[in-house]
Amino acid sequence: MYLMESASYYQQTSHEEHQYVDLVNKILNDGFWEEGRNGRTKAIFGYTMRFSLKDDTIPIFTTKKTAWKTCLKELLWFIRGETNNKLLQQQNVHIWDGNTSREFLDGVGLSYEEGIAGPIYGYQWRHFNAAYNSTTGNTLDDESVENNNRQLGIDQLQYIIDCLKDPLKRMSRRLIMTAWNPCQLSDMALPPCHIICQFNVLDGNKLSCALYQRSNDVSLGTSFNVSSYSFLTHLLAKHCGLVAHEFIHFMGNCHIYEEHIEPMCELLNREFHQFPKININCIKENINDYNVNNFEIIGYKSNDVIKMKMIA
């Protein structure tokens, strides 16, 4: 049995990060061993966490150090609809290296140039179902084809922004953005794990986001997913003249890889630190124009990093 022995943990269960530590503990104690696509995991199915974004709070996990700048750079890459990993590598971000290597692309039957990820997350956010140019990683740029909406696809994110800026439309229950496109899954280096999110405004100006994620790498991915969609909610709130309120994370398959079991046990008895605050120092006209320097994280304190290898 893997037990949380620290008395300080039980004294801090009001800290929202306890939901994550509880998830780790539940997987370790109650999970089932499964042999999957890329290794052996211990897994459960179905879990939910809620995090307040009020008063500029952002849930960046503290039980192990989270590389929040790397997370933010990836999010901004998604927002711009980019799919070329070389643009991340130029920023010293390497989380997509394993899934866009020559060996990996060949293994999933894709002849893309190394570094091209296919029509993944950001592409679907900004160009849903548009024809994909596997050479450039952008929409198909064929001069013989009229530049119409079908070619460019559906810009789901801009639609949400337009609604959020409109007092008559921001209360809509249809502010949904999906990365899961069955028509193009076979063209993606990796089908999306975080697949659909919904934005919701209550009380006139309080913006919340709910995410459903089909597959959760709890050791390495979950901390990024929580921070990423919290960043996105704060950004949309700032950009659209609203205030960030809450992030809700619905999870399907939650797993820990066998190689990560031992290092994750260390997490169980660590103390929490207060979540930091976020300041976005400007409002850009175009959502594509924000960069990492426009975000300030105030008061982030954490335990040491737990070193684990990402499994592609």
Residue 12, helix vs strand vs coil: coil
- For residue 33, is pLDDT > 80? yes
Structure tokens at 18: 């306890």
Quote the DSSP letter at residue 304: P
Residue 115's DSSP bridge partners are: none
- Average pLDDT taken over every residue of the chain: 92
Residue 216's DSSP bridge partners are: 254
pLDDT digits (tens, 9 = 90+) for 36-52: 888 899 999 999 999 99
pLDDT digits (tens, 9 = 90+) for 91-128: 999 999 999 999 999 999 999 999 999 999 999 999 99
**Is 163 annotated as catalytic?**
no
Tell me if 218 sits within 8 A of 24, measured CB to CB: yes
**How is the chain split among helix, strand and coil, in percent rounded to 5?**
35, 25, 40
Residue whose token pair is 């290794």? 39
Residue 197's DSSP bridge partners are: 177, 211
Distance from C-alpha of 212 to C-alpha of 236, rounded to nearest angstrom: 19
Tell me if 208 sits within 8 A of 245, measured CB to CB: yes
Domains in the chain, CATH or no CATH each: 7-298 (3.30.572.10)
| pLDDT over 70 percentage in the chain | 92
Structure tokens at 70: 């790397």
Pairing of strands 243-257, 206-217: parallel
Q: How confident is the model at residue 3 (pLDDT cuts 50, 70, 90)?
A: low
Q: Based on C-alpha coordinates, what's the Rg of the chain?
A: 20
Tell me if 208 sits within 8 A of 200, measured CB to CB: yes
Q: How big is the CA angle at 79 (ends 311 and 288), to the nearest 5 degrees?
A: 145
Distance from C-alpha of 306 to C-alpha of 312, rounded to nearest angstrom: 18
Distance from C-alpha of 122 to C-alpha of 78, rounded to nearest angstrom: 4
Distance from C-alpha of 137 to C-alpha of 304, rounded to nearest angstrom: 36
The pLDDT assigned to 264 comes to 94
Q: Is the pTM of this model over 0.85?
A: yes
Q: Active site residue: 71, 163, 183, 193, which one?
A: 193
Q: How confident is the model at residue 134 (pLDDT cuts 50, 70, 90)?
A: confident
Pairing of strands 243-257, 295-298: unpaired
The pLDDT assigned to 296 comes to 98
**Measured in Å, how far apart are the chain's first and last C-alpha atoms?**
28
The residue among 48, 73, 68 whose CA lies nearest residue 275 is: 68
pLDDT greater at residue 168 or residue 11: 168
pLDDT digits (tens, 9 = 90+) for 248-275: 999 999 999 999 999 999 999 999 999 9
